[in-house]
Structure 1
Amino acid sequence: MSTRDHAPVSIDDHLERVRSGLDRVEAPDAHAAAGSGDALLVDIRYAALRERDGLIPGALVVERNELEWRLDPQGSHRLPEAEGHDLRVVVICNEGYASSLAAASLRQLGLHRATDLVGGFQAWRAAGLPVTPAP
């Protein structure tokens, strides 16, 4: 079946559909989950944003174009943190849009607890949660 057999969908509709399958988390809940060891925070923002705005302490930085390869528990290029499909991953982008799409992609790899941070890094910072300058 070719893509011509499917009706076009806007990015807003696609994003809404993707988010309906995620248990998205607010910044304070993501902070608590990471602090208790219940979640791995994964920052997918590009380098210029990390340099400009800083880093979330303890978050794993994985560029968006490497995310699936680094977090696939069965992948040959996985990071040590990608220990299994039960891993709760909270993906963080700048404002919470690209992270929703990234979390959905991780779910397709079997990471059934993958989700994202509502509002992204900007919501984290606005909540007054810890941020450190980029090196």
Structure 2
Amino acid sequence: MSAADRPVGIDELLERVRSGLDRVEARDAYAAATAGEALLVDIRYAALRDRDGLIPGALVVERNELEWRLDPQGSHRAPEATGHDLRVVVVCNEGYASSLAAASLRQLGLHRATDLVGGFQAWRAAGLPVSAD
């Protein structure tokens, strides 16, 4: 079995994926989104959004729909999916699933896709805006 064919654990996979991402800290993500330079995409499931709130202006797309909604060539794309140059910052709860999701978006050609270090919890801890709905 070659090195490329051997199974990897999630920790190694996450490390590999993250090495190819320019991950963003919460305050930098806020500044980029506020300046219109990045689209924040919240992939947390409904129970977490209900419990913790939302990032104002973020596009909410649950993880299982992400590729369909963000593919600029897809028939089910969101209006915000304007092109492959779009800078997407994926937000999950703590910054793990978002790394894998950003890597998946990169496979679709969204070469500027990345994720938020620490996820929504880091956003909230930084005192950035959160709304109840």
Relative to the length of structure 2, the TM-score reads: 0.97
* Counterparts of residues 48-67 of structure 1 (less than 5 Å): 48-67=47-66
Cα offsets for 1:93-122 (capped at 9, x unmatched) = 000000000000000000000000000000
Aligned-pair CA distance for 1:49? 0.1
In the alignment, the residues of structure 1 paired with residue 57 and residue 9 of structure 2 have an alpha-carbon distance, to the nearest angstrom, of 35
1:46 equivalent to 2:45? Answer: yes
Q: Deviations for 1:13-40, whole angstroms, at most 9, x for unmatched residues?
A: 0000000000000000000000000000
Write the mapping of 1:76-95 to structure 2, written as runs, cut at 5 A: 76-95=75-94
Q: Which amino acid aligns with 1:9?
A: V
Number of the residue aligned with 1:96: 95
Identity of aligned residues (%): 86
* Partner AA of 2:77 in structure 1: R
> Does the alignment pair 1:107 with 2:106?
yes
Please state how far the C-alpha of 1:6 moved relative to its aligned partner: 1.6
| Structure 1 counterpart of 2:61, one-letter code | V
Q: Does 1:26 pair with 2:25?
A: yes
The one-letter code matched in structure 2 to 1:63 is E
For 2:132, the equivalent position in structure 1 comes to 133
Distance in 2, Cα, partners of 1:41 & 1:8: 32
* Matching residue's letter, 1:73: P
Which runs of 4 or more aligned residues in structure 1 lie more than 6 Å from their structure 2 counterparts after TM superposition? none
2-structure distance, mates of 1:118, 1:93: 9
AA matched with 1:10: G
State whether structure 2 residue 12 is matched by structure 1 residue 16: no
Structure 2: where are the runs of 5+ without partners?
none
TM-score, normalization by structure 1: 0.95
Unaligned runs of 5+ in 1: none
Task: Identify the residue that residue 70 of structure 1 maps to in structure 2.
Answer: 69
